[in-house]
Amino acid sequence: MLTKSFFLYRFMQSLVDTRICTPTDRLLDVLPVTLTEKTTILPSHILAIYPAQPSTSVSTTGEVRKRTKVTLYGVHSIVLAAHCANLPVPPQPLPPPLYQQGQQTTYLKVWSLRLPSPETYPQLSTYLYTKQISTLMNTILPCPPPPSIINVSISESVVDSADEESTPQPVANSEVVWSYATYLAKTYTQSALMRYVHNVHGLWANACALGVFDSPLFDTIDVMWQAMTTALALATRDEELARIVTPQQTQPVEA
């Protein structure tokens, strides 16, 4: 019997094996992609992710220039549509190519999408495909947290039951969050911790912008936010902020 995890693996494998031919001058409505024999489920579109605000730079002559960085990803629109309520309507996909043995080139429609945090889209995308909480935490946080940071057993396998996917995660294990945050505060600089705080916030902002409806995802984001803000409070010796999330309200901030 073919399981849900089997099909999700095939979806993910197809994304990895589809190589996008990136344009050098301007973004077109259709772009070529190279397929291999492992590309069993062809992506429906090329997702062009761009930020809400363009970056600005000043030339040597004082001229202010605005540039919009666009990053391209293969995507299956059915996967995004299954999880996101705020998606723009995608372009009508092109007919799939006839199968040819070996490597071949085909074309996919470009689907433009503006997100508040383009840099954290890959982590969100991987989660929506796999539902692996531990993988999400390991790629968003500075280093892998203890599995017991959440009061459930985190399985490395893909969930096969729709009921299990919709089951909310329990609250964070406060003792483990505090211990993990203390380690982060002693190991990473304040600027590094701020970058990872930004990562967690960006992941949350993307999920909100897309209208993702997944309770375990937002519960996990809450845990990561608690860990990172606690670590930053400890690193900056902000005792008032740290006490908000300590296991015991009277616990002092470590020097």
Other Cβ atoms closer than 10 A to 42:
17
Q: Please report the pLDDT score of residue 201 as a whole number.
A: 94
Report the amino acid identity of residue 106: T
3-class DSSP assignment, residue 98:
coil
Report helix angle 190-210 to 133-140, nearest 10.
130
Q: Please report the pLDDT score of residue 155 as a whole number.
A: 41
**Token pair of 70, please?**
């666009």
- Per residue in 59-82, pLDDT tens? 556 665 667 788 999 999 999 999
pLDDT by position in tens, the chain (length 255): 445 666 677 788 788 888 888 877 777 899 999 887 777 788 999 999 999 776 655 555 666 566 778 899 999 999 999 999 999 999 999 888 776 676 788 899 999 999 999 999 999 999 999 899 999 999 999 999 998 888 754 444 344 444 444 444 546 788 899 999 999 999 999 999 999 999 999 999 999 999 998 999 999 999 999 999 999 999 988 766 655 554 443 333 343
Using CA atoms, how far apart are residues 188 and 43, in angstroms rounded to an integer?
Answer: 39
Using CA atoms, how far apart are residues 94 and 71, in angstroms rounded to an integer?
Answer: 21
Residues 6+ apart with CB under 8 A from 17: 35, 36, 38, 39
Residue carrying the six token digits 């930004």: 198
Q: Please report the pLDDT score of residue 190 as a whole number.
A: 94
- Per residue in 8-60, pLDDT tens? 777 887 888 888 888 777 778 999 998 877 777 889 999 999 997 766 555 55
Using CA atoms, how far apart are residues 51 and 92, in angstroms rounded to an integer?
Answer: 24
Using CA atoms, how far apart are residues 254 and 16, in angstroms rounded to an integer?
Answer: 44
Q: Please report the pLDDT score of residue 156 as a whole number.
A: 41
